Amino acid sequence: MLELAILGNLADGPLHGYELRRRVDRLSGYARPVSEGSLYPAINRLVKRGLLTRHSEPGAGATQRYVLTLTDAGREELLQRLRDPAQVEITDFNRFFTVLAFLSLLPEVKEQHAVLRRRLEFLETPASFFHDENDRSLRAEDVDDPYRRGMMLTARAVTRTECAWIHEILDDDKDLDMPRHFAAPQDGVCQTSDSVP
């Protein structure tokens, strides 16, 4: 997720290291703060792989400021990661949001929609946080604990909202000649009761 956020944020042009960190923090820091101990090693790995270049500029006083630039190889890597995200980037809510933040960089709408279809398939797979003694999935209505029920109701609402949005995006583009693998439910939301993102 961190490498994708770095590559994606540099797609619009070079950034100073400090500005890159601010952008990465804004994208994912609310859920998982990005420390210098993880950001700068990730940048170094990307530089070593030839996906980024780094050069210094004079800063305030005697300090040097580093400017990071996405290389052509870095742009190709970014596009490949967006075309074919790892499964965990589809199933993990925060990781998927990182993919979603840069998905419009893919030049083909068909490629964008293929990623959305993978997410939709995951969201429409029945899931539950809790099970009974017979391993039967419990619905929020089956749970007495108010905090667990609240957790499940929140997850249900988020999942239904995301499913409705994905269906809206996929259904809005009538010009694409693409087979539909997923039919939109009648009420426009996922049919699963307690699917979790």
Are residues 71 and 6 located together in one domain of the fold? yes
Are residues 114 and 70 located together in one domain of the fold? no
- For residue 185, is it left (φ>0), alpha (ψ between -120 and 50) or beta? beta
User: Is 183 a domain residue?
Assistant: no
- Cβ-contact 22, 68 below 8 angstroms: no
Are residues 121 and 66 located together in one domain of the fold? no
User: Is 149 a domain residue?
Assistant: yes
- Cβ-contact 52, 74 below 8 angstroms: yes
User: Is 85 a domain residue?
Assistant: no
Host domain of residue 51: 2-77
Are residues 69 and 112 located together in one domain of the fold? no
Domain boundary among 56, 77, 98: 77
67: domain CATH number is: 1.10.10.10
Question: How many structural domains does the chain have?
Answer: 2
Kindly give the confidence (pLDDT) of every residue in the chain, 197 residues in length, as a single tens digit, with 9 standing for 90 and above.
899 999 999 999 999 988 998 899 888 766 667 777 888 899 999 999 999 999 988 766 667 788 999 999 999 999 999 999 999 999 998 899 999 999 999 999 999 999 999 999 999 988 888 999 999 989 999 999 999 999 999 999 999 999 999 999 998 765 454 444 444 343 334 654 444 43
